[in-house]
Amino acid sequence: MTKPHILQVGSYPAGDQSALDAVFDMRRVFEAPDKAAFLAAEGPAIRGIATRGDLGASAEIIAACPNLEIISVYGVGYDAVHLPSVRARGIKLTNTPDVLTDDVADLAVGMLLALSRGIARADGFVRDGSWSKASFPLQRKVSGKRAGILGLGRIGHQIARRLEAFGMEIAYCSRQPKPEAGAWAYEADPVALARRSDYYVIALAATPETRHIVGREVIAALGPAGMVVNISRAANLDEAALLDALETGALGGAALDVFDGEPALNPRFLTAPNLLLQPHHGTGTHETRQAMGQLMRDNLMAHFAGRPLLTPV
């Protein structure tokens, strides 16, 4: 039986690639010198798309595949998939939730601690010999402070649980109160959440409605001692407003794992003070990426075997 033709939008770790090649006829559009020509030639035979959370599937790519049945996302965020095309054509869509929740929550907490205690700067301070000339500047205590979690989904909930263990006062903002939030304080408005937060963690899924949800108002409400952590999507944060606030001292600091135009950055990020920068690596561990790859493949194999999808969106 011929292997289903799958359009591959981006690279995967070697183990995932070989496992996909064993079961599917993978057509790697990201390696094509002329992507439009590649899609014109390969698109009609494509039955599935294998993509990543950061890459998605554009309206153009979907339109080039008239016989497309399923899009499988290696990642939890599917905001880069053109949903109107998916819904209009009844294309199945899957992602890889749960298997990556702990990793992303762990990194968010690590970024918050590293930012507040200056861990990356202190490493450089030791390495460049500055320690022989001065003491490292005092930093900011984390335990017992106030954490505001914007978006209390799977990842936001696990971040809140971790920060609670640091004796922090937890508040959150979501469309409506969450029963599973227990004693954590609910705020319906992102600005109200910022007013009661020392650390503001952006953990919500990116949608057209959440674009720049963290902008000048939220940043001003956080104030000069406030700090922002973003492990969601760059689109949820107004980068210009953040950079203005960091450069003027109107915000205390930011730890970011996602950026507009990544991996290219606004060059202001390289000089602005009190910043911790990470390379979109929330899920970047062997264990989690293996689990993500397996789940992405399992969804594709379930579809082509006529079985129920494991994690449909």
Given the rule CB under 6 A, which residues bind ligand 8YV?
Answer: 52-54, 74-77, 100, 282-283
Name the residue nearer to ligand 8YV (CB basis): 10 or 177: 10
Beta bridge partners of 51: 73
Give residues with Cβ within 8 angstroms of 219, minimum separation 6: 194, 226, 228, 238, 241, 242, 245, 250, 251
* Smallest distance from ligand 8YV to CB 138, Å: 34
Name the residue nearer to ligand 8YV (CB basis): 121 or 280: 280
Name the residue nearer to ligand 8YV (CB basis): 141 or 281: 281
* Smallest distance from ligand 8YV to CB 241, Å: 22
Q: Are 124 and 175 in contact (CB under 8 A)?
A: no
CA dihedral 12, 59, 280, 143 (to 10 degrees): -130
Amino acid in position 118 = G
Residue nearest to ligand 8YV (CB): 53
Name the residue nearer to ligand 8YV (CB basis): 129 or 261: 261
* Spatial separation of the C-alpha atoms in residues 300 and 49, rounded to whole Å: 9
* Smallest distance from ligand 8YV to CB 260, Å: 14
Q: What are 245's two structure tokens?
A: 């606030």
* Smallest distance from ligand 8YV to CB 109, Å: 16
Q: What are 303's two structure tokens?
A: 């579809």
Q: Are 201 and 159 in contact (CB under 8 A)?
A: yes
* Smallest distance from ligand 8YV to CB 52, Å: 4
Name the residue nearer to ligand 8YV (CB basis): 75 or 215: 75
Phi, psi of 201 (to 5 degrees): -105, 120
* Smallest distance from ligand 8YV to CB 284, Å: 8
* Spatial separation of the C-alpha atoms in residues 227 and 233, rounded to whole Å: 17
Give residues with Cβ within 8 angstroms of 208, minimum separation 6: none
Pairing verdict, β 146-150 and 169-173: parallel
Name the residue nearer to ligand 8YV (CB basis): 83 or 250: 83
Residues designated as active site: 233, 262, 280
Amino acid in position 275 = L
* Spatial separation of the C-alpha atoms in residues 235 and 223, rounded to whole Å: 21
